[in-house]
Amino acid sequence: MWCGTSSGRTADRDVTVEDARPRLYEELADWWPLLSPPAHYVEEVADLRRFLDAAPGEPPRTILELGSGGGSVAYHLRSAYALTLTDRSEAMLAVNRAVNPECEHVLGDMRRLRLGRTFDAVLIHDAIMYATSEADVRATLATAHAHGRPGSGLVVVPDHVRETFGPSTSTGGEDGPDGRGLRYLEWIWDPEPADTTYEVAYALLLREAGGKVRVEGDRHRLGLFPRATWLAWLEAAGFVARAVDDSFGRTVFVGRRTG
């Protein structure tokens, strides 16, 4: 296994403080491995690798992931690529470091991060859903462009585009080796179809190692844009991009930096 050398440094101290942050990424972050562990991503990442390898025209060596969260995707990529993993939540980076200790981890907001170096490819997985406005998306794509060498690849994996969105519910959760357990109900809906966001609410049952169970809630506001809008923004940001369907019915944007 190999990753970028871990520097442990902070590249972006100007992390947004005015934005409301979901509790799952802050005070409840240490429960993340029981909500969305690496084992849930085996098939998805196998599918994702074909886009990463094709985006720059040849398999990349170095990859920057913007909004890497708890590191469940990176866990399955770290043996093939040198990874630099970023997130704006220090609590989530702590989870990520435990999952991927070999990798470089950097605290920074994907809209403003500037490392002063470039990579063979940039990956933005479902963290892109927290870009809820045109300005947020354009700023994130500008960050991707700033960190790509000429001809580098870009893969963006939103959970939904406007054409594929539909309300849904799901349940899940895991038990941990320390005796803790988590079960959740996830509810997705769009309260205002005319705008560019939708809502996700979580009901969480958390069982402590001693057996005590408590109930917590969390609510997320996520961005939702049409395919054509995405492609126009990618072109404006300096990428030649295409929209492709993955094996899970999602639209994935695969691009190459033009200059």
Q: Mark whether 85 and 176 lie in a shared domain.
A: no
Q: Mark whether 183 and 147 lie in a shared domain.
A: no
Compute CA distances 38 → 97, 155, 166, 173, whole Å. Answer: 13, 20, 26, 13
- Per-residue confidence (pLDDT) for residue 204, from 0 to 100: 98
- What is the full per-residue pLDDT of the chain (259 aa) written as tens digits? 446 544 444 444 333 333 568 999 999 999 999 999 999 999 999 999 999 999 998 999 999 999 999 999 999 999 999 999 999 999 999 999 999 999 999 999 999 999 999 999 999 999 999 999 999 999 999 999 999 999 999 999 999 999 999 999 999 999 999 999 999 999 999 999 999 999 999 999 999 999 999 999 999 999 999 999 999 999 999 999 999 999 999 999 999 999 8
Q: Which domain holds residue 149?
A: 23-161+226-257
What is the three-class DSSP state of 80?
Answer: coil
- Per-residue confidence (pLDDT) for residue 7, from 0 to 100: 47
**Separation between Cα atoms, residue 112 and residue 162, nearest integer Å:** 26
CATH number at residue 180: 2.20.25.110
Domain contains 106: yes
Domain contains 15: no
217-220 long-range Cβ contacts below 8 angstroms, 24+ apart: 218/22, 218/23, 218/24, 218/28, 219/22, 220/22, 220/24, 220/130
- Per-residue confidence (pLDDT) for residue 14, from 0 to 100: 36
Residue appearing with tokens 């038990």: 175
- Per-residue confidence (pLDDT) for residue 259, from 0 to 100: 80
Q: What's the predicted TM-score (pTM) here?
A: 0.93
